[in-house]
Structure 1
Amino acid sequence: MKKRCSFIFLLFCCCCSWVQAQELNTRVQVMAPTVPNINKKNLEVLQNTIREFLNNNKWSNEPYAPAERIECNFVITVTAWDGSSAYKAEAQIQSSRPVYNTAYNSTLLNISDKDFDFNYNEGQSLDFSDQNFISNLSSLLSFYAYTIIGLDKDSFSKLGGTHFYNKAQNILNVAQVSGNKGWKAFDGLRNRYWLNENLQNKSFEELRQFIYDYHFNGLDRMQEDQSKSAKKIISLLTTLKQMDKQKLGSIFPNMYLATKADELVNVISTLPDPQDKLKAYNLLSEVDPANLNKYEALRASR
């Protein structure tokens, strides 16, 4: 009887662990290749602290199985150090989601943040609050955690990430009191403020809906019928023509389409009909002229 009770208790603990699994599975690299005499040990401690902060915090009330955790990468390059606790840095942040029934992960976010500045003392813990500003580093990490989850949600349900973009906006609003760059509209045209603004702007709802249809009704169906799915993706591109052409250079469409350009070419190149490739080329050259050089491969392969 005791053995049976112990087994039931162990099973209960495992179930609780499954329900409370965190959302992110983050790899973190902190480096300073051009900063002389920087404390390398401190960078290692910082790297571990950031990874634990992102991976161990629970960012939602939703259950996640370990296999459902979102794959992401933070590469933080320190460009200057004051010899104490102040760091100037840039960050490259990526996230992806699996394509159904394949070993392939499709990139959702690939963004460079040039204003990833923060203060950190060796051994300092990172605390999280979405109501109060604690530190710029915790605000930066929290903002991107919510944004990553939002984009992941958008890829599985129509406009599914709205709640998490609202959470990221709350972090942004609270962090504006810090005076650090990247949180305000006038800090630049391609910063955290405008990324969050674009993600919630109705002008870009067609792009958010495209993210869902492209992944859930396109890529996730590739194993069932590759040709049919590729043609479906071409038809989805027509919806992007509804976006305001004046807004195509904004950070969200610019970032997302640049992330997807190579993947789109690879998928559409599988179609045998040259006319399908030409149709895709014409559509992509209209909605994403910034990456026209990549789409030339579709016209050349006819």
Structure 2
Amino acid sequence: MRSIFYIFFFCLGFIGYSQELNCSLVVNAQQTGNENQSIFKTLEKQLTEFINNSKWTSRSVAPQERIDCSMVITITDYSGENFQGTIQVQSSRPVFGSTFNTPVYNFNDRDFSFRYLEFQNLIFNPTQYESNLVSVLAFHVYMVLGLDADTFAKQGGDAYFKQAQTIVNYSQQENYKGWKLEDGLQSRFALIDNLLSPTFSAYREVMYSYHRLGLDVMSENAKRGKEEIASSLKLFEAMNSRRPNSFLLRTFFDAKSDEIEQIFSDGPNVNIASVKETLQSVAPMHSGKWANIKF
């Protein structure tokens, strides 16, 4: 009997401290012409284990609560221990009362260079720089965590975004691209700076109202859910008038444009004309999809 209790409490502890992410990670080295080299398979395996087996927060997470995400690292060039490439990061979360997963984060990080020695230890320190490889991965992990939390609670991602900002600050020391103001309007620096800026506060309001008050309601009341989604998108209008075609707006609609087209092309009627006017105003780059909304 005693051994049964030990097993029971061991299992409870394992479940209570499960890792936060369920990440599919791929290293694509085709562009190098040497994709079959063992170092790329080793890198893929190590990074997959690093992301999925690390404990990124102090929260207790049940296995079914792990966030689904993916990272595709494309190596474009390498020499010795020096690698150059890009990383595409995407995440999603389930919609209440359905089998549907909604996209949350979609970011193509083009400034990704790092040093890597096969089988080297990968260690994340929340307050101290370890390597650019670790910093870039950890930054995107906290973006995934923060945006996911924002879809469930107002300002729910604050702690994760502040950690992402800390990573940006201490990663500037090695002069890798993507961490500084001068690295452009689509850098990691710009992304977290915009997210935490009052100028773009509507973005995080929309993340909450669109998902929690809109999508999550649709299984019980489809019309009310669609109306809430339409109202939430209108919050972008004032933000867009201050900063037209902002980086954050583009990241939102890169993730959501297909979903929005589908939502407003089916189900209960809402004011489609008003919705299309809003979408055309704040996301003209997807005008072809908005033109397909003819419900």
Q: TM-score, normalised by structure 1?
A: 0.94
Q: 1:281 aligns with which of 276, 280, 285?
A: 276
Could you tell me which residue of structure 1 aligns to residue 201 of structure 2?
A: 205
Aligned 1:74-153 pairs, distance under 5 A: 74-82=71-79, 84-153=80-149
Question: What SS does structure 2 have at the residue aligned with 1:130?
Answer: coil
Deviations 1:77-127 (A, max 9, x none): 000011x11100111110111111211111111110111111111111211
In structure 2, stretches of 5+ residues that fail to align are none
Q: Structure 1: which amino acid aligns with 2:165?
A: Q
Offset of 1:140 from its aligned partner? Answer: 0.5
Could you tell me which residue of structure 1 aligns to residue 29 of structure 2?
A: 32
Q: Is 1:154 matched with 2:142?
A: no
Runs of 4+ with deviation above 4 angstroms: none
Could you tell me which residue of structure 2 aligns to residue 293 of structure 1?
A: 288
Could you tell me which residue of structure 1 aligns to residue 65 of structure 2?
A: 68
Q: 1: CA distance between counterparts of 2:240 and 2:28?
A: 40
Could you tell me which residue of structure 2 aligns to residue 263 of structure 1?
A: 259
Offset of 1:248 from its aligned partner? Answer: 3.6
Q: 1: CA distance between counterparts of 2:99 and 2:268?
A: 24
Q: Structure 2: which amino acid aligns with 1:147?
A: M
Question: What SS does structure 1 have at the residue aligned with 2:102?
Answer: strand
Could you tell me which residue of structure 1 aligns to residue 50 of structure 2?
A: 53
Q: 2: CA distance between counterparts of 1:101 and 1:125?
A: 42
Q: 2: CA distance between counterparts of 1:149 and 1:286?
A: 30
CA contact (8 A) 2:240 2:282 kept: no
Q: Is 1:163 matched with 2:173?
A: no
CA contact (8 A) 1:22 1:57 kept: yes
Q: 1: CA distance between counterparts of 2:274 and 2:268?
A: 13
Q: 1:10 aligns with which of 1, 7, 11?
A: 7
Q: Structure 2: which amino acid aligns with 1:92?
A: Q
Deviations 1:103-155 (A, max 9, x none): 11111111101111111111112111122211100001111111110000000
CA contact (8 A) 2:226 2:263 kept: yes
Offset of 1:244 from its aligned partner? Answer: 4.5
Q: 1: CA distance between counterparts of 2:174 and 2:247?
A: 23
Q: 2:226 aligns with which of 218, 224, 230?
A: 230
CA contact (8 A) 1:248 1:288 kept: no
Supply the RMSD in Å over aligned alpha carbons.
1.4
Question: What SS does structure 2 have at the residue aligned with 1:95?
Answer: strand
CA contact (8 A) 1:118 1:136 kept: yes
Deviations 1:12-37 (A, max 9, x none): 11111111111111000001112123
Q: Structure 2: which amino acid aligns with 1:5?
A: R
Report how many residues are paired. Answer: 295
Q: TM-score, normalised by structure 2?
A: 0.96
Structure 1 215/46 Cα, relative in aligned 2: closer, same or farther at 3 Å?
same
Structure 1 10/251 Cα, relative in aligned 2: closer, same or farther at 3 Å?
same
In structure 1, stretches of 5+ residues that fail to align are none
Offset of 1:38 from its aligned partner? Answer: 5.3
CA contact (8 A) 1:165 1:196 kept: yes
Deviations 1:268-297 (A, max 9, x none): 111454x72212101111122222221111
Structure 1 162/122 Cα, relative in aligned 2: closer, same or farther at 3 Å?
same
Question: What SS does structure 1 have at the residue aligned with 2:123?
Answer: coil
Q: 1: CA distance between counterparts of 2:83 and 2:6?
A: 47
CA contact (8 A) 1:154 1:161 kept: yes
Q: Structure 1: which amino acid aligns with 2:261?
A: V
Q: Percentage identity across aligned positions?
A: 34
Q: 2: CA distance between counterparts of 1:239 and 1:31?
A: 39
Structure 1 248/104 Cα, relative in aligned 2: closer, same or farther at 3 Å?
farther
Could you tell me which residue of structure 2 aligns to residue 218 of structure 1?
A: 214
